[in-house]
Each structure stands twice: as structure tokens, then as C-alpha cells.
Amino acid sequence: MRFLEKLKLIQNENNSLLCIGLDTDVLKIPPSLQNSNNPQLEFNKRIIEVTSDFVCAYKLNLAFYESAGERGYETIHKTLECIPKEIITIADGKRGDIGNTAEQYAKIIFDDWKFDAATVNPYMGKDSVEPFIKNKNNCAFILALTSNPGSHDFQYLEVSGRPLYEHVVAKATSWNVKKNIGLVAGATHPEELKRIRAMVPEMPLLIPGIGTQKGDMEATVRNGCDKNGLLALINVSRGIIFASGGNDFAARARESAIKIQNEINVIRNNYFG
């Protein structure tokens, strides 16, 4: 199934734009799981069990797993097995390298781990992105305007009268022959998010920066959705998975996911009907 079709189906089925980031820091896993064979995996399983009916996607930040070595690779495989097949899965590794190296990154992400999508750094140009967009069923979310403070170091630099991030958006659009490119655009830049959506009215946007980074939810939904109130994947990580550090972590995560999903949908209904 083409990526865009799968995304629209799950967003409609679960009535959700919520993407949960499984940034599972082993140091924050509750004591009740610490004696299990694989605490990180058990934590992920519990989070998925209690939130999968409220999300359109899960995003695994690969650093939290790769830092665990061989066990981390196993955890990625087994976490993905726990996620219902209709839900989008995103490998957040921000890969980007020369063509033959990018081929290997794409191979493990899509062929071995079998993620639906990956975040990709476009700094090295088209050949570093191409391996991630060969298959129309996979998506490359290209970094356009990130949510961190350091985004101002390069992404706003004026080039030929426009900020650099707009050139990235334009290039990504020209590469999007198979309709399987998306953009990463941070909630911490609401007016720029509006501009990006105007430039790519039919492209999916992965939007970090809500929650701990204090992105504005109303502006994010209003400016990030397409004309039908879809195609925005609003990522929340720590605000859901670590809503509690105690043994009630799963129940609190579910409560937080429901609250955020409801907040998003109230705004969607106000602006998109």
C-alpha cells in the first residue's frame, strides 16, 4: 500500500493525528520493569497496548536503541512486532550520507526492521535521499525546519532572497515523483509551519515540538494540517510515555494520549469541520 494511502486510512480510522515518540530512555523505566528480561521492550509493549487505539503513528528514536548495542536492535524488531500493522511506523535516525552508504541505512530501516518511514537529513543532496524513496510504500521525512533552538544556526540563512529551509522544501517537492516524501517541520515555528504547508498542500508533515518544547497546539493543528484536516503527524514523546515515573506509567500514558488526542480533535473540528 502506498504510504500516503496508509497514512490517510489510519488517521481516519483512529480519528487521530497523534504520533507517539517511543524515546525510551532506560534510565526512566519504572522500577516494576527493571527486573524483566528486557525492560525497554516491556515498557514499549505496555505503552503500545494502552495507546494504539488513539494514534496514527509511532516514532522510534533510534539513538535510544542503538546505544544498547545488540539488545537494542532486538528491541527495535520486537517493538515493531507489537505495533498493529495499520499504524505508521517511523525510524527517527535523521540519516543522510553518500549514496552507497545511504543505501545501507535504507536497507536496514526498510528491509530488515520494516519501518514505513524514516527521517532523512538532506544536507548532502539528492543522492543521499534517493535510497529512501525508491519504494512508493515507504516515506522519507526530510528535515526542513526543526524544532530545536539550533535550527536558527543554518535553516534561516538567506539564500537568493529566501531562507534556506524554503529551498529544502522546494527541492523535496521536486524529488517527490512517487508521492512518498514528507517534511519535518517543528511546532516551535508556527508561522513558518503555515508557510511550509502552503508550499506543500498535499505532503505529510511530521511535527515535533509539542509538549516539552512548548509548541503551540492550536497553531500547529491549524497550520500543519492539509485542507481536510489530515496529513499532519503531531509527535509527542516524553509528555506521554513518561507521564508517570511510577508503576502506574501505562495508565497515565493512556490518559495523556487521550487528553492530547481530544485537544487536537477539538481544534480540528473548529477549523476543518
Contact predicate 61/115, CB 8 Å: no
160: helix, strand or coil: coil
How many helices and strands in the chain, by DSSP H and E?
12, 10
* Distance between CA atoms of residues 92 and 225, nearest Å: 21
Q: Which amino acid is at 79?
A: T
Contact predicate 57/50, CB 8 Å: no
How many Cβ atoms sit within 10 Å of the Cβ of residue 214? 10
Which residue out of 8, 94, 171, 179 is catalytically annotated? 94
Closest listed residue to residue 203, CA positions, set 87, 131, 117: 117
Q: Is 94 a catalytic residue?
A: yes
* Distance between CA atoms of residues 120 and 181, nearest Å: 10
Cα 181 off chain centre by: 13
Closest listed residue to residue 60, CA positions, set 74, 37, 79: 79
- 141 sits in which H/E element: strand 139-145
* Distance between CA atoms of residues 236 and 256, nearest Å: 10
Q: Which three cell numbers stand for residue 132?
A: 529512501
Active-site residues, by number, are 94
